[in-house]
Amino acid sequence: MGDARALKDKLYEAFNAHDLDRVLQCHSRDGVLVTPEGVAEGHDQIASFYEEVFKGFPDLHMTVWHTVFCADPAVTEWMLTGTHNGPLMLPGGGVLGGTGRYVAVRGTSTCTVGNDKIITHRIYYDQLELYSQLGGELVFDDRSSSAGEGRPSPGD
């Protein structure tokens, strides 16, 4: 089994260079990328995810804070920083045009390796942290109420 830590370090170098070809070279052709936005399976979908990220944040950079030293899986804590100057897909399917806002988002990720390629890469970060830095607000639908009206009583 390959060394997940070394492969993940190569992935971060490629990510920071915004080198999509090198990013894909780190992943198995049928690899899976799991993010808060959803699941990407295979090179085409993984490439699409990274292309969107690089387009939305042309100066995006990852700074690694902490790594867990083990062969597999590789676990890393990091900070993403960059300026939102391009389109960003939103959870509801809409697109947020470039806001010009600088973001700094903390996160963690883990990956497993097979045949010297990443077969599963899971990325976790707080979407609310990102969206609030982009000027978004948390809005509840009409069914919610600050006074708790309309909530069932205990025992209902």
Cβ-count burial of 88 within 10 angstroms (0-12 exposed, 13-18 middle, 19+ buried)?
buried
Helix (H/G/I), strand (E/B), else coil: 64: strand
**Is the peptide bond prior to 154 cis by the omega test (within 30 degrees of 0)?**
no
- List phi, psi (to 5°) of 104: -140, 110
**pLDDT tens for the chain, residues 1 to 156:** 347 778 888 999 999 999 999 999 999 999 999 999 899 999 999 999 999 999 999 999 999 998 876 667 888 999 999 999 999 988 788 899 999 999 999 999 999 998 889 999 999 999 999 999 999 988 887 765 555 555 555 555
pTM (two decimals):
0.84
